[in-house]
Chain A
Amino acid sequence: MENIANGTPSLTRGERFRAKYLTRHFAGKLIINILLYLLLFGLSYVVLYPLIMRVANAFKSYEDVYNANVYIIPQNFTVDHVVAAFKRVDLFGKTGWFTLWYSALIAFLQVVSATLAGYGFARFKFPGNKLLFGLVLFVLIVPPTTITTSLYEFFLDVDPWGMVTASGERMSGWNLCATVIPQTIMAIGCVGYKNGLYVYLMRQYFKGMPGVLEEAAFIDGAKPFKAFVRVMLPSAFTMMITCFLFGFCWQWTDDIYTSTIAIDLPSLTRLAMSYNSGSSDQIWNSIQQQTGILIAVLPLILLFIVCQRFFVEGIERSGITGT
């Protein structure tokens, strides 16, 4: 009674503790949180499991692989195979350098044309807008092989209007598959691997932006293109980086184009996958191959850790909604 009259409940420590923590509400919350984190950590483990195994395998010696007691932590720790894989995969050599700038080039071109197209689809109601956008998404549905194989036949022997063979010096046209041209053209035309996705993301992003910004630019006398470059591009930069990183990673690990139209170009992952130790031991072979692949994608993992903000938040904030 006295306490209530004073307005300040003077509880003992034990009472306060009981009131705060020994309630049904708190207990329920606690249990749910524990279950939630258990579930999430378990699922994270499932996701990371292949990566953990690959890293563990990379440091195992031959005996460890056949030792049933060794699961993740190797008994005879060795870096020999990692060093050998580094040499084999040529990460810091010519192949690595080429893969780096080639992936960057392709991703950059894809992003540029996807951004332009995304803006065009989002902001201009020209006749055929919806149809064209539908066609872009349609390209996404078509399995890449359906066109790459015939494009490969085309790029193997390019002879525009018989100009190359006209002089009689060459028997056949140019073999463009040894150059970066085929994929460059595909990147510019936005028909590369999952490029429709980038157009979709950019379109959604531009649709979500207030139109007032451009109107202000138009009133100030800017032409549409200038308004786009000066007003819209700076704010779309984050989204562009997201698309660029996707393009970069998917080009880096690509095995559809590097086995067809880019077959004569060096590729890290192809190099890593083509490894054969020559031993008849399939398991040992595949472990060594995977160590190579791990090293080939190591830059991507680092890139992902550094740029995860762009990867994840870019999509989350794209404001994707229906159509």
Chain B
Amino acid sequence: MESTVQTVKKKSRWHIPLERKRQLVGYWFCLPVIFGFFCVFVPGMVSTFVYSVSEVQFNPETFQMDTLFVGFKNYLAMFDNAKFLQALTTALKDMAINVPVVVLFSFFLAILLNRKNFPGRTFFRVIFFLPVIMDSGAASTAGAGSIDQYSEFSFDASASGMTSNIASQFANVLNIQAFLEQLTFSTFIMDFVLKSVDRLNTTINSCGIQVIIFLGALQGVSPSVFEAAEVECLTAWELFWKITLPLISPMILVNLVYTAIDSFGDNAEILTIIDETWYALEQTGTASAMTVFYFLCSTLIVLLIVGVVSRVVFYEE
């Protein structure tokens, strides 16, 4: 007995330095990322920050940007820019509606698509994923908005008041607003419901990756858990709340954060305003202040989400 313990001890004594040596190799693998973060990202952030607190002027002699520290003048200028503030608040409001709706909706879709023996699963998965490719960057900037604008025109002209959006057409047909008014819901809830119906288009278009992430997680739940639940005679309702939801909850957090970044961090309107201020108006300082403020907002939101949701999330280990 004693000899075995000794050999194990000896072995581990031999192993640790080698192991540690081996672990340090990780730095080599992460070298590109370390380089990217410290040599591209950090200098970029720092210079943007420096621009944001200084008066920036192009020096034609040295071909450099001359900076003169002016304190928070640029930030004050930014708060005077009504267009930017409006875009920012709209983006925040949009995000507040988008994030829960998109995550709920993609969870719902994932559960629908996760059924067993369900023909056409691949087909629907592919279709819901299509917007990830199609609606990124340039394709989206000139995309949905202008199409709606156009189709509103070509749509049955006699049906005035009908919006172009298919979803809101349905809402109009079903007369959801009147229904909710009859139920005497508060205006806030009504607004939320109507707005989420109104943006069904955007919602579906922005839940491609989230659906797949949920699907992957749902399939990752080991079947033995469900078998055990069956033995314990759990109903489908209990199964969902007691087993599926807790096991999926880490992915809910991931998706919340991803959706928030996707919805707020890529806001086309804000980016256009920043670009305009930077290049067309050549107010580099103000534009930098805008980007810094924009970045702070998005970081704050993500921290908020992580801080609140990670308390509820259930981790298996």
Contact = CB atoms under 8 A, between A and B. Distances in A.
12 contacts: A71-B155, A124-B29, A125-B26, A136-B33, A149-B48, A154-B43, A190-B32, A190-B36, A224-B25, A249-B132, A253-B139, A283-B150
Interface of A: 36-37, 39-40, 43-51, 53-54, 57, 65-68, 70-71, 112-113, 116-117, 119-121, 123-126, 129, 132, 135-136, 138-143, 145-151, 153-154, 157, 171-173, 185-186, 188-191, 199, 224-225, 228, 249-250, 253-256, 258-260, 269-270, 272-273, 283, 286-287, 289-290, 293, 296-297, 300-301, 304, 308, 311-312, 315-323
A125 B47 CA distance: 33
Contacts, number: 289
The 5 residue pairs across chains A and B that have the minimum distance between CB atoms: A189-B36, A124-B26, A120-B29, A147-B44, A269-B138
Nearest to B105: A43
Given A297-B139, A321-B220, A113 B32 contact: yes
Interface of B: 22-37, 39-41, 43-45, 47-48, 51, 63-65, 109, 112, 115, 120, 122, 124-134, 136-139, 141-144, 146-147, 149-151, 153-157, 166-167, 200-201, 204-205, 209, 212-213, 215-217, 219-220, 250-251, 253-254, 261, 265-266, 271, 274-275, 278, 284, 287-288, 291-292, 294-295, 298-299, 302, 313, 315
B304 to A, nearest CB: 12
Interface secondary structure of A, over-half rule: helix
B138 A270 contact: yes
A30 B278 CA distance: 59
B266 A143 contact: yes
Nearest to B212: A315
Nearest to A192: B36
A312 B212 contact: yes
Contacts of B166: 45-46, 49
Nearest to B48: A150
A287 B150 contact: yes
Interface secondary structure of B, over-half rule: helix
A93 to B, nearest CB: 18
A189 B212 contact: no
A124 B23 contact: yes
